[in-house]
């Protein structure tokens, strides 16, 4: 024990010794050796738990010059010590005080580097803690910096955000409340950290726009863009019940406010700002930058138009079509992603833009913008391939909204496009149902609609009333589409008399019979015979099948599905037969209707 004590005292003594020696020296006369001795002694004091004594040394007025020059050396051991002690430990308190003192006393440039170094070196679970610990001194130091302040602020923010980026973003309510790694808290602390610089910029902007301020503006802008991409793009930003101050919503609000304050919000949302960022000599960097900013801008639009952040000061004179057009690029970016957080943001943004519009008000010319053709196709991908059910459902609703907003020609073009590109019988069936609805409203409403009657309609019907591969088409796979087509045809022959022939269906009937009804008959007969034979086969081989020799296995989402029993296989085969029966009955009904009508007309003539 005494030995240990003497050791510590030695550490403090050593520190005192070096300090006393330096007290008499001029600033310029400090040698590298002195720096080393000071650091070693200081570190030893800290390690041995004599933070209080160290604090005294630092606070001593006589040591001011020494601390100014050498203090930054202590940051690294100090941070280590602070994490060693428990929250309520007195020694921790001393250490924190030392940190404050150093921020006040040290040469800002040196200390700045040493603080950044600490942030750079932390990793994993300690990142948020370290950042939050050092933000305050970092801010103090930055505010004191004379030169290259804007650059240093930017460097700090970039470093911090880079360190945070690998951390997982809490998504569920529980995760947000728990905030295991402290990310929620940390993000908001970072915004607070940035605030004085924003204020400074705003103040300067009011006075004049000097080059130096442009620099600070660029840096803050970069920080905002980065924050929009991470964590905001991946974060859950809906209001959550039971959480009063949703940390990410708060963070998002602050970011939008900063953008507003530095007068970048509206340009970001509305101006395609090419060549704004400094020219990258390297093409790859430029592309990366562009891709990053596409994500960030998409997130920003989501915040403004869906979450209504910052909307209070947003111009309210833009036309809804223009808002949709501006947002289409962002929607496209988001819908191409597979993460739930981004897909749902994309769908929400799309929905909110569409809800601003009146039905039938979107001009078909907008389809000349490539995004207006691409996005519905992406939407179809979401609704057919996305594993998350509520997103699939939502995307279907949005597709309907999108269709509703177009004028007749737009709807017509969109239907053609989707029929050709969706490659999914369910979607095709859905489009065909929509075509039926449009024909219905054309026939029942007084307004003349050239797009869903007459020759335009006929060319659309050519796409609908046919089998993709003739009689060999897999009827089971295409059953949705075939049923919808038959329903449409049934509707047409009931609704439109041969004498009127408003839709033109009677003119094209021979073609329909050739391309659709006849091959469908053949296909049905073949399929039924095939499946019936298969059933018979299965039943006969039932016993043998028990000694299962599975030909292949099916995996879904990486999991191997259990092999089907013969019973299950029979069930499937039977349900297929049932579908064929259903198709056949509707087909029979349609043919009957056609026959009756034609006969009626012939009777009339004779």
Should residue 313 be labelled a site residue for other proteins when binding is judged by CB under 8 A? yes
Q: Closer to other proteins by CB, 230 or 366: give it.
A: 366
- Considering the complex, what minimum distance in angstroms separates the CB of residue 313 from other proteins? 6
Q: What does the angle CA 74 – CA 79 – CA 80 come to, to the nearest 5 degrees?
A: 105
Q: Closer to other proteins by CB, 308 or 393: give it.
A: 308
Should residue 316 be labelled a site residue for other proteins when binding is judged by CB under 8 A? yes
From candidates 366, 430, 452, 580, binder to other proteins by CB under 8 A: 366
- Considering the complex, what minimum distance in angstroms separates the CB of residue 412 from other proteins? 9
Q: What distance in Å separates the CA atoms of residue 42 and residue 71, rounded to the nearest whole number? A: 9
3-state secondary structure of 360: coil
- Considering the complex, what minimum distance in angstroms separates the CB of residue 314 from other proteins? 8
H/E run at residue 296: helix 283-301
Q: Closer to other proteins by CB, 273 or 536: give it.
A: 273
Q: What is the largest CA-CA distance in the chain?
A: 129
Q: What distance in Å separates the CA atoms of residue 4 and residue 511, rounded to the nearest whole number? A: 103
Long-range Cβ contact pairs of 135-141 (< 8 A, separation 24 or more): 135/160, 135/189, 135/190, 135/192, 135/193, 136/100, 136/103, 137/99, 137/100, 137/102, 137/103, 137/111, 138/112, 138/193, 139/193, 139/196, 140/103, 140/104, 141/103, 141/106, 141/108, 141/111, 141/112, 141/115
Of residues 18 through 77, those in contact with other proteins by CB under 8 A are none
From candidates 293, 413, 449, 503, binder to other proteins by CB under 8 A: 413
Point out which span in 327-335, 350-358, 507-515, 581-589 binds other proteins (CB under 8 A). 350-358
Total residues contacting other proteins by CB under 8 A comes to 42
Of residues 216 through 275, those in contact with other proteins by CB under 8 A are 263, 274-275
Point out which span in 240-248, 339-347, 358-366, 530-538 binds other proteins (CB under 8 A). 358-366
Q: What distance in Å separates the CA atoms of residue 189 and residue 332, rounded to the nearest whole number? A: 33
604: CB partners within 8 A, 6+ apart? none
327: CB partners within 8 A, 6+ apart? 301, 305, 349, 350, 353
Q: Are 504 and 465 contacting, i.e. CB atoms less than 8 angstroms apart?
A: no
Should residue 454 be labelled a site residue for other proteins when binding is judged by CB under 8 A? no
- Considering the complex, what minimum distance in angstroms separates the CB of residue 155 from other proteins? 8
Point out which span in 128-136, 248-256, 408-416, 575-583 binds other proteins (CB under 8 A). 408-416
**48: buried, middle or exposed (CB in 10 Å: 19+, 13-18, 0-12)?**
middle
From candidates 40, 391, 417, 601, binder to other proteins by CB under 8 A: 417
Q: Closer to other proteins by CB, 412 or 430: give it.
A: 412
Should residue 578 be labelled a site residue for other proteins when binding is judged by CB under 8 A? no
- Residues 314, 317, 323, 326: is their CA dihedral positive or negative? negative
- Considering the complex, what minimum distance in angstroms separates the CB of residue 120 from other proteins? 13
Indicate the DSSP class of residue 560: E
Rg, Å, the chain Cα set: 36
From candidates 367, 375, 380, 418, binder to other proteins by CB under 8 A: 367
Long-range Cβ contact pairs of 450-455 (< 8 A, separation 24 or more): 450/408, 451/408, 451/409, 451/411, 451/412, 452/408, 452/412, 452/503, 453/502, 453/503, 453/504, 454/502, 454/503, 454/504, 455/504
From candidates 385, 450, 533, 563, binder to other proteins by CB under 8 A: 450
From candidates 409, 513, 534, 584, binder to other proteins by CB under 8 A: 409
Q: What are phi and psi of 525, to 5 degrees?
A: -60, -45
Point out which span in 159-167, 308-316, 491-499, 596-604 binds other proteins (CB under 8 A). 308-316
From candidates 369, 468, 514, 588, binder to other proteins by CB under 8 A: 369
Q: What distance in Å separates the CA atoms of residue 365 and residue 579, rounded to the nearest whole number? A: 41
Should residue 404 be labelled a site residue for other proteins when binding is judged by CB under 8 A? no
Of residues 512 through 571, those in contact with other proteins by CB under 8 A are none
Q: At what angle do helices 320-335 and 283-301 cross, to 10 degrees?
A: 120
Binding mask 128-167 for other proteins (x = CB under 8 A): --------------------x--x----------------
Q: Closer to other proteins by CB, 367 or 475: give it.
A: 367
Strand partners, 406: 362
From candidates 62, 180, 203, 308, binder to other proteins by CB under 8 A: 308
Q: Closer to other proteins by CB, 41 or 465: give it.
A: 465
Q: Closer to other proteins by CB, 355 or 385: give it.
A: 355
- Considering the complex, what minimum distance in angstroms separates the CB of residue 228 from other proteins? 21
Should residue 203 be labelled a site residue for other proteins when binding is judged by CB under 8 A? no
Q: What distance in Å separates the CA atoms of residue 527 and residue 476, rounded to the nearest whole number? A: 9
From candidates 28, 317, 446, 552, binder to other proteins by CB under 8 A: 317
Q: What distance in Å separates the CA atoms of residue 106 and residue 58, rounded to the nearest whole number? A: 10
Point out which span in 176-184, 353-361, 496-504, 527-535 binds other proteins (CB under 8 A). 353-361
- Considering the complex, what minimum distance in angstroms separates the CB of residue 22 from other proteins? 26
Q: Which residues bind other proteins (CB under 8 A)?
A: 148, 151, 263, 274-275, 279, 281, 283, 308, 311, 313-322, 352, 355-358, 361, 363, 365-369, 373, 407, 409, 413, 416-417, 450, 455-456, 459
């Amino acid at each position: 024990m005494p030995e240990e004590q003497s050791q510590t005292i030695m550490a403090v003594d050593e520190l005192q010794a070096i300090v006393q020696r330096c007290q008499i020296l001029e600033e310029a006369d400090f040698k590298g050796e002195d720096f080393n001795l000071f650091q070693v002694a200081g570190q030893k004091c800290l390690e041995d738990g004599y933070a209080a004594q160290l604090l005294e040394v630092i606070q001593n007025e006589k040591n001011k010059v020494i601390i100014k020059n050498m203090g930054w050396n202590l940051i690294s051991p100090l941070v280590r010590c602070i994490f060693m002690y428990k929250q309520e430990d007195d020694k921790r308190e001393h250490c924190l005080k030392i940190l404050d003192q150093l921020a006040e006393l040290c040469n800002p440039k040196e200390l700045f580097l040493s603080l950044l170094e600490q942030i750079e070196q932390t990793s994993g679970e300690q990142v948020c803690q370290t950042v939050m610990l050092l933000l305050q001194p970092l801010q103090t130091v930055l505010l004191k910096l004379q030169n290259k302040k804007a650059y240093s602020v930017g460097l700090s923010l970039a470093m911090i955000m880079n360190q945070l980026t690998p951390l997982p973003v809490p998504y569920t309510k529980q995760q947000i409340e728990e905030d295991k790694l402290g990310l929620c808290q940390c993000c908001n602390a970072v915004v607070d950290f940035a605030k004085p610089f924003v204020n400074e910029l705003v103040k300067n902007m009011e006075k004049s726009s000097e080059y130096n301020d442009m620099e600070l503006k660029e840096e803050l802008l970069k920080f905002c863009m980065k924050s929009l991409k991470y964590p905001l793009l991946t974060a859950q930003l809906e209001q959550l019940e039971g959480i009063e101050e949703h940390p990410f919503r708060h963070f998002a609000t602050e970011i939008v406010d900063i953008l507003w304050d530095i007068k970048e919000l509206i340009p970001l949302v509305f101006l395609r700002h090419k060549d704004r960022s400094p020219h990258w000599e390297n093409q790859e960097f430029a592309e990366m930058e562009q891709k990053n900013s596409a994500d960030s801008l998409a997130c920003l639009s989501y915040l403004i138009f869906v979450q209504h952040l910052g909307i209070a000061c947003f111009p309210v004179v833009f036309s809804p079509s223009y808002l949709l057009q501006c947002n289409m690029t962002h929607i496209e970016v988001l819908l191409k992603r597979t993460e739930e957080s981004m897909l749902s943001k994309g769908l929400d943004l799309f929905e909110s833009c569409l809800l601003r519009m009146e039905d039938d008000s979107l001009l078909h010319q907008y389809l000349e913008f490539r995004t207006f053709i691409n996005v519905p196709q992406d939407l179809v991908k979401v609704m057919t391939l996305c594993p998350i059910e509520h997103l699939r459902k939502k995307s279907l609703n949005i597709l309907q909204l999108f269709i509703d907003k177009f004028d007749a020609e737009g709807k017509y073009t969109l239907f053609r496009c989707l029929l050709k590109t969706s490659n999914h019988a369910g979607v095709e069936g859905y489009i065909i149902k929509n075509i039926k609805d449009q024909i219905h409203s054309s026939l029942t409403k007084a307004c003349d609609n050239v797009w869903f009657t007459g020759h335009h309609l006929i060319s659309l019907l050519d796409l609908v009333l046919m089998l993709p591969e003739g009689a060999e088409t897999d009827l089971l796979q295409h059953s949705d589409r075939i049923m919808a087509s038959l329903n449409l045809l049934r509707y047409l022959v009931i609704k439109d008399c041969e004498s009127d022939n408003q839709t033109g269906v009677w003119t094209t009937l021979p073609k329909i019979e050739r391309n659709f009804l006849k091959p469908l008959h053949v296909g049905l007969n073949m399929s039924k015979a095939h499946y019936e034979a298969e059933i018979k086969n299965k039943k006969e081989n039932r016993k043998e099948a028990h000694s299962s020799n599975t030909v292949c296995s099916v995996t879904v989402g990486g999991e191997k599905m259990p092999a089907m029993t013969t019973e299950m296989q029979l069930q499937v085969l039977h349900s297929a037969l049932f579908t064929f029966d259903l198709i056949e009955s509707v087909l029979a009904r349609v043919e009957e209707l056609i026959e009756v009508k034609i006969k009626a007309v012939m009777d009339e003539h004779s």
